[in-house]
Amino acid sequence: MSSIIIWTVAVITVLGLLLALVLYLVAKKFKVEEDPRIDEVEKVMPGANCGGCGFAGCRAFAEAAVKAPNLDNNFCPVGGNDTMAKVAAILGYEVKAKAPMVAVVRCNGTCGARPKVNEYDGYASCAVKSLLYTGDTGCSYGCLGCGDCVSACQFGALSMNPETGLPVVDETKCTACGSCVKACPRHIIEIRPQGPRGMREFVSCINKDKGPVAKKACANACIGCGICAKTCTHDAITVEGNIAYIDPAKCKLCRECEAMCPTGAIHGVNFPKPLDKDAVKERIKIRQQKAKEAAAAKVKEDKKDE
Amino acid sequence: MNKNTFAIGGVHPHDNKISRECAIQPLPLAPTVYISVAQHIGAPSVPCVAVGDKVKVGQVIAQPGGFVSAFIHSSVSGTVKSIGPRADLAGRPATHIEIAVEGDEWAEGIDTSDTLVTTIPDDAKAIIEKIRLGGVVGLGGATFPTHVKLSPPPGSKCERVIINGCECEPYLTSDFRTLLEKGEQVVVGAALLKKAMGDVPCTIAIEENKPEAIAHIREVIAKLGYKGIEVMVMKMMYPQGGEKQLIDAVMHRQVGSGALPISVGAVVQNVATALAVYDAVQKNKPIVDNSVTVTGECFPRQANLLVRVGTPLRYIIDYLGGVPEEAAKVISGGPMMGRAVANLDAATVKGTGALLFLTEKQTRRAPESNCIRCGKCADACPMGLEPFLLNKLARAKDWDAMEQNAAQDCIECGCCLYSCPAHIPLLDNIRIGKGAVMGNIRARAAAAKAAAEAAKAAETAKK
């Protein structure tokens, strides 16, 4: 009896050792030479494998970063500047710091402002809904409210607000990976710079219908009136196709457009003080008055010179 | 009795033809009609009237916007009030021509009498040209311009014309009533289509749940004495009215993936299209009206109405006593493939075949549960696809794998969704994937075309 056990153990051990030797030799013979830096880079990556960088995952990003001549086209939005500095240190490249970004929902068609014109009782998916028709409100551009962006977010940064029916971005969790941007069939989510101390101004509407049509569908819609663009002294606002857009690179956060917007489509977030609309309007009025007077005076002077 | 049906898949929904006894009656003219310029597959038509113009019934108001496109005629006489965007059934803006109705004056050259013209013109080309001028499109639902379908690409030959009288969608009865009341015209239309395709044999396929129509059409064929037209009785099965399914059922031939029916020698036309062909060729009457079934268990006044194209849905419903209180959903078309109407102010188009009212109980969707791998969807799929797999792939957004699994062949009949015991929204997800796959295929075709053209240009430059 005991001899059987001894024999079994002996045979298995010898077999194991032999196979290990074979494996060792094969591994030696067919070893794939790989840049050791790929492993190093992968180690400093966030490991979320979200695909926000445009590659299939963190390893794919690491391989691409090692192969690339510089890091201009490779940026990990999740890790941000810290991670990229580490990657650059490993690879000996220089990296330009990018402004931290955040997802911004460009629809403020709340349930109250945007009345329903029909009931949707199909499958609760924005992609399905947008394929079937223009949605259950009069606005054919705005949020469909089924939460495809919420399920696309791997960081738990998005949630639906049941009161407004719109998605809310948790800025502390958002990594600006862009999954929600891809998931939204209406393209209402934009990745924008976070702004200094998180302060930023943006037009929270993408309705390209003409003013009266947009207004009828949603009380909060941008009607493309252009008052904001006229008010802006920094040339940051463009109105194209009945919709205003604030260029984050040019915006100086003076909040004048926000005060002047007749429908409240322009939103300012994370400002320390609430906006005193009347005061700002007064300020703009005085400035415009002065400008008018100055222009009139100049015309007079020109005439005198003649 | 020899009963034919297609070889794979299919389901048996209850046919619910509750409006089958209602004769087709004309709907009084609406005060205003809105005629869309995009009521067919292909390029939208281009309006050729101006605001303020006086138009007559049957007058051309929009020209075809491309090869695959159709003429659009005024369905009423009156004044053009506006030309501009208006929400269609799904709420999407499309260009509509608004016409205020004044009287009912028909354009010259249109024969509005009831006399049956049975002489078939000899010239096939002339028949197709008249069909083109009549703005005839496939009225079975897809609204594909008929003259394009009747002009097969060089090298392919038609061997049989099939007139589709299956009406396999539950509830719908307009084709059935057309067969009963205008059987003569349909048979003459079939003879015209047969002539246009080069005197090939013609089969009128009717499902067995319409025995009156089968008997009547057989009688009419015997009376009119046309040779080569026969009635084929089909076993009841959904989606028998699908083009590829019907070809399989009648000719036992399978249309390949991405191929046209003409590749197996078949041309399929709906009963209503055959009637429109008769009107266009024999009476010079373009499509200005079509029959619409208005039905539903909760709808008190069932009806089959002859409705002028562009009549607002609300007008039709108000004429029949308004939307019933218990109705929760209005569907344009049948319950299987029809689409819920988001906007009752929308106007009918040539392809509008039915308005169906469903109660909340009838439209309720049971909550989705996990796939139990029963394979019912794959059994039911008439195209031989695997809906459970396509559903998974669509959720994973794996469009390439979807293409390998032939998502582009899906005919969106809804059999998978109907048969799924777990209530998984199979079709909803597959439709998304199908859209993406079709987009990829089109993009590849366009790229290949551009590359070929560039190569050609380079060659000529060399010379």
Calculate mean pLDDT across residues B282-299: 93
CA atoms of A211 and A219, how far apart (whole Å) = 11
For residue B355, the one-letter residue type is: L
- End-to-end Cα separation, chain A, in angstroms: 126
Nearest CA in chain A to B363: A121
Q: Do B343 and A118 touch (CB under 8 A)?
A: yes
Position B218 in a domain: yes
Residue A44 CB: number of other CB atoms within 10 A? 19
Nearest to A109 by CA among A144, A150, A133: A144
Cross-chain CB nearest to B342 (options A123, A127, A133)? A133
Q: Do B339 and A128 touch (CB under 8 A)?
A: no
Position B51 in a domain: no
Rounded to the nearest 10 degrees, what angle do helices B174-181 and B211-224 cross at? 40
Give the per-residue SS3 of B181-196: HCHHHHHHHHHHHHHH
CA atoms of A156 and B140, how far apart (whole Å) = 47
Mean pLDDT in chain B?
Answer: 92
Same domain for B347 and B393, yes or no, is no
Q: Which two tokens stand for residue B273?
A: 């299209």
CA atoms of B299 and B356, how far apart (whole Å) = 9
- Rounded to the nearest angstrom, the minimum Cα separation between A123 and chain B is 7
Q: Do A134 and B87 touch (CB under 8 A)?
A: yes
Buried b or exposed e, range A209-221, using 16+ CB within 10 angstroms = bebebbbebbbbb
User: In which domain, by residue range, is B436 found?
Assistant: 376-444
Same domain for B212 and B280, yes or no, is yes
- End-to-end Cα separation, chain B, in angstroms: 67
Confidence of residue B1 (pLDDT cuts 50, 70, 90): very low
Determine what percent of chain B is predicted with pLDDT higher than 90. Answer: 79
Interface list for chain A against chain B, based on CB atoms closer than 8 Å: 117-119, 121-123, 125, 127-128, 131-136, 140
CA atoms of B403 and A222, how far apart (whole Å) = 40
Same domain for B254 and B388, yes or no, is no
Position B240 in a domain: yes
Q: Do B428 and A133 touch (CB under 8 A)?
A: no
Do residues B64 and B126 touch, judged by C-beta distance below 8 A?
no
CA atoms of B245 and B242, how far apart (whole Å) = 5
pLDDT of amino acid B2: 52
Same domain for B324 and B389, yes or no, is no
pLDDT of amino acid B409: 94
Helix (H) or strand (E) holding A152: helix A148-152
Higher pLDDT, B279 or A2: B279
Look at residue A285 and tell me whether its pLDDT is greater than 80.
yes
Same domain for B418 and B312, yes or no, is no
CATH topology of domain A36-91: 3-methyladenine DNA Glycosylase II; Chain A, domain 3 (1.10.15)
Model confidence over A111-124: pLDDT tens digits? 889 998 888 888 88
Model confidence over B32-91: pLDDT tens digits? 999 999 999 989 999 999 999 999 999 999 999 888 999 999 999 999 999 999 988 888
Confidence of residue A196 (pLDDT cuts 50, 70, 90): confident
Position B94 in a domain: no
Nearest CA in chain A to B424: A123
Same domain for B222 and B306, yes or no, is yes
Model confidence over B441-450: pLDDT tens digits? 999 999 999 9
CATH code for the domain in which residue B14 is found? 3.40.50.11540
Calculate mean pLDDT across residues B276-290: 94
Percentages helix, strand, coil for chain A (3-state, rounded to 5) are 40, 10, 45
Confidence of residue A26 (pLDDT cuts 50, 70, 90): very high
CA atoms of A139 and B344, how far apart (whole Å) = 16
Look at residue A205 and tell me whether its pLDDT is greater than 60.
yes
Q: Which two tokens stand for residue B349?
A: 């188009």
Look at residue B142 and tell me whether its pLDDT is greater than 90.
no
Look at residue A78 and tell me whether its pLDDT is greater than 90.
no
Same domain for B269 and B411, yes or no, is no
CA atoms of B278 and B272, how far apart (whole Å) = 10
Do residues A291 and A283 touch, judged by C-beta distance below 8 A?
no
Model confidence over A234-284: pLDDT tens digits? 999 999 999 999 999 999 998 999 999 999 999 998 898 888 888 999 989
Whole-structure pTM value: 0.84
Nearest CA in chain B to A139: B91
- If you write DSSP's letter for every residue of B59-107 in order, what string do you get? -EEEE-SSSS---EE-SS-EEEEEEEEEE-TTS-EEEEEEEEE-S-PBP
Same domain for B407 and B340, yes or no, is no
Residue found by looking up tokens 């009419």 in the block: B220
Do residues A41 and A91 touch, judged by C-beta distance below 8 A?
yes
- Rounded to the nearest angstrom, the minimum Cα separation between A111 and chain B is 18
Nearest CA in chain A to B85: A209
Same domain for B233 and B354, yes or no, is yes
**What residues pair up with A104 in beta bridges, in sequence order?**
A190
Same domain for B310 and B390, yes or no, is no
Residue A121 with chain B: CB contacts under 8 Å: 328-329, 363-365
**What residues pair up with B312 in beta bridges, in sequence order?**
B347
CA atoms of B289 and B306, how far apart (whole Å) = 6
Mutation test of the interface with chain B: which of A134, A207, A210, choosing the one with the most B Cβ atoms within 10 A? A134
Domains A36-91 and A101-275 share a fold: no
Calculate mean pLDDT across residues B344-358: 92
Q: Which two tokens stand for residue B380?
A: 């039911």
Rounded to the nearest 10 degrees, what angle do helices A58-67 and A80-91 cross at? 50
Residue ranges of domains in chain A: 36-91, 101-275
Cross-chain CB nearest to A131 (options B89, B93, B431)? B431
Position B451 in a domain: no
Residue B365 with chain A: CB contacts under 8 Å: 121-123
Q: Do A117 and B342 touch (CB under 8 A)?
A: yes
Confidence of residue B460 (pLDDT cuts 50, 70, 90): confident
Domain A101-275 sits in CATH 3.30.70.20: yes
Look at residue B154 and tell me whether its pLDDT is greater than 50.
yes
Model confidence over B207-221: pLDDT tens digits? 999 999 999 999 999
Cross-chain CB nearest to A131 (options B89, B364, B435)? B435
Position B55 in a domain: no
Determine what percent of chain A is predicted with pLDDT higher than 90. Answer: 46
Same domain for B259 and B352, yes or no, is yes
- Residue B159: CB partners within 8 Å, gap ≥ 6? B200, B201, B251, B265, B266
Do residues B175 and B141 touch, judged by C-beta distance below 8 A?
no
Calculate mean pLDDT across residues B369-373: 93
Look at residue B459 and tell me whether its pLDDT is greater than 50.
yes
Taking the alpha carbons of B181, B244, B247, B191 in that order, is the dihedral positive or negative? positive
Same domain for B382 and B352, yes or no, is no
Cross-chain CB nearest to A134 (options B92, B425, B432)? B92
- Rounded to the nearest angstrom, the minimum Cα separation between A67 and chain B is 27
**Cα B135–B136–B139 angle (5° rounding)?**
135
Q: Do B92 and A121 touch (CB under 8 A)?
A: no
Higher pLDDT, A74 or B390: B390
Confidence of residue A47 (pLDDT cuts 50, 70, 90): confident
